[in-house]
Amino acid sequence: MTLDVLVPQRTEQLDTQEKPVNWQRPSGARSTPTEAPRWSVEAVQALLDRPFLDLLHEAQAVHRAHWPEGDIELATLLSVKTGGCPENCGYCPQSAEFDTGVQAQKLMPVDEVLRAAQAAKDAGATRFCMGAAWRAPKDRDVEKVAELVTAVKGLGLQTCATLGMLEPHHAQQLREAGLDYYNHNLDTSPDYYPEIVDTRSYQDRLDTLAHVRAAGISVCCGGIVGMGEMPVHRAGLLAELANLSPYPESVPINSLVRVPGTPLADAPPIDPLDFVRVIAVARILMPRARVRLSAGRQQLGDAVQALCFLAGANSIFYGDKLLVTGNPDVEADVRLLQSLGLKPRQTFATAAAPSTGDACCSH
Ligand code: SAM
Ligand code: DTB
Ligand code: SF4
């Protein structure tokens, strides 16, 4: 691959927007007219390995070409059903298999969720994401979450939910209730995945993503770095995400929060500059995705977060808590964005239409 060119997304998505200068098909891409080019793990690895400043320069160029408005989306999380999960994801404080001190709680009632959503809106969030520690919700769970979705949507917020594996009819029901996004992460590369969780397969994750897409819900899908993976596994994750067709509208990149009691509590921390590299490559591979700087911001510090924004991150989890662990204070985030001259995205109902003419309307 020629490394000093802008390497954009797959062709079928470029059709709706201008091609960046020097555009070329990524090497390793399949190029029959009926089949979209695919990102190979090697091509992604080559991007990750680029000289740091070249990589950042390119990511910033792609970012400016596709996001001229340059705003930062603020998304607030709420754990609406906490702990006691039967899955064994090695990173997760909510698995019933690990002794992490998290108290299991039942699904929250509508009025409590609405209070939290209104507070998030008042603080400037435009998206509200409800998380539940389920392997897969049952029919009656989906019915109750559908009520939450409709209520939160009524406040004028974009809605997102992350509830585990979904059947097609669940996705349809949530869509009808007004769900805008479904978060379901691939977390790592297919070959590293069994090291992290063995109560479900990678294909289970892909199946749910397909059901979400088929129901017309936008996809929020990303992963976690700092789980003891090798760079090739990071490349594998990024290639999987970019090869989803279409690629996700939102891509959360989490840095592992090492929770005592989980199997990954002692995972070696990722070099912060490698984290920035992952953000930059996500931006290059998925130019019109909202790339979200997600869990782990408390450990990153302001300077590394600034580099992440330079690399193309344009969304954060905003609010003092993630699901069960901490997040930077709202005041600290407001200060950080102000000091960098970054503007939060306006309420989505009143925000100006994206100026790059992407087919999808509401990233
Ligand atoms: N149970 C659902 C599922 O697994 O899809 C939804 C909730 S789950 C907590 C949502 C995501 O949070 C996971 O896929 C993972 O990417 C992320 N996550 C969980 N624990 C984390 C941790 N300690 N550090 C970073 N990200 C984490
Ligand atoms: C995502 O990618 N990260 C969020 C959200 N999607 C659901 C969750 C982060 C969880 C961090 C650990 C915790 O607080 O449970
Ligand atoms: Fe359960 Fe989700 Fe945590 Fe896995 S990540 S243990 S599925 S809550």
CATH number at residue 326: 3.20.20.70
Q: Is there a contact between 282 and 253 (Cβ–Cβ < 8 Å)?
A: yes
Q: Is there a contact between 219 and 191 (Cβ–Cβ < 8 Å)?
A: no
**CB neighbour class for 332 (10 Å; exposed up to 12, middle 13-18, buried from 19):** middle
What are the CA-CA distances from residue 86 to residues 133, 187, 199, 213 (Å)?
A: 9, 18, 8, 26
Q: Is there a contact between 221 and 34 (Cβ–Cβ < 8 Å)?
A: no
Active-site entry in 10, 50, 127, 160: 160
Percent of the chain residues topping a pLDDT of 70: 85
**270-290 average pLDDT score:** 98
| DSSP single-letter state for residue 270 | P
Atom 14 of ligand 1: nearest residue by CA position: 185
Atom 5 of ligand 1: nearest residue by CA position: 164
Task: Find tokens 């925000």 and name the residue.
Answer: 351
- Of 294, 257, 295, 327, whose CA–CA distance to 100 is shortest? 257
**241-256 average pLDDT score:** 97
Taking the C-alpha atoms of residue 60 and residue 276, their distance in angstroms, rounded to an integer, is 12
DSSP states of 114-154 as a string? HHHHHHHHHTT-SEEEEEE--SS--HHHHHHHHHHHHHHHT
Which is the closest atom of ligand 2 to the Cα of 326?
14
Q: Is residue 278 part of a domain?
A: yes
* pLDDT for position 347: 65
Tell me, in angstroms, the distance from the centre of ligand 1 to residue 92's CA: 6
Tell me, in angstroms, the distance from the centre of ligand 1 to residue 142's CA: 19
**68-84 average pLDDT score:** 97
Percent of the chain residues topping a pLDDT of 90: 85
Task: List all residues 6 or more positions away from 164 whose beta carbon is below 8 Å from its beta carbon.
Answer: 85, 87, 132, 134, 135, 136, 137, 208
- Can you say whether residue 19 is alpha, beta or left, with left for phi > 0 and alpha for psi between -120 and 50 degrees? beta
Domain count, the chain: 1
First to last CA, the chain: 30
Q: Is residue 275 part of a domain?
A: yes
Is residue 223 pLDDT above 90, yes or no? yes
Which is the closest atom of ligand 3 to the Cα of 94?
3
Q: Is residue 194 part of a domain?
A: yes
The whole-model pTM stands at: 0.89
The number of residues in the chain equals 363
Beta strand 218-220 with 290-293 is unpaired
**293-298 average pLDDT score:** 97
Buried/exposed 231-264: b ≥16 CB within 10 Å, e otherwise: ebbbbbbbbbbbbbebbbbbbbbbbbbbbeebbb
Q: Is residue 352 part of a domain?
A: no
Active-site entry in 10, 50, 127, 129: 129
Least confident interval from 41-45, 73-77, 342-346: 342-346
Please provide residue 272's backbone torsions phi and psi, each rounded to the nearest 5 degrees: -55, -35
Is residue 22 pLDDT above 50, yes or no? no
Question: Encoding tokens for residue 181?
Answer: 């996004």
* Nearest ligand for residue 76 CA: 2
| DSSP single-letter state for residue 26 | P
Question: Encoding tokens for residue 235?
Answer: 């490349």
Is residue 135 pLDDT above 80, yes or no? yes
Model confidence pLDDT, tens digit, residues 282-294: 999 999 999 999 9
Write out residues with Cβ below 6 Å of ligand 3. Answer: 85, 87, 89, 92, 94-95, 133, 135, 164
* pLDDT for position 98: 97
Output the average pLDDT for the chain: 88
- Of 322, 279, 245, whose CA–CA distance to 79 is shortest? 322
Q: Is residue 347 part of a domain?
A: no
> Catalytic annotation on 220?
yes
**65-75 average pLDDT score:** 96
Which is the closest atom of ligand 1 to the Cα of 185?
14
Tell me, in angstroms, the distance from the centre of ligand 2 to residue 321's CA: 10
Q: Is residue 44 part of a domain?
A: no
Q: Is residue 11 part of a domain?
A: no
Find the domain containing 221 and state its range: 73-340
Active-site entry in 205, 292, 297, 345: 292
* pLDDT for position 356: 32
* pLDDT for position 348: 62
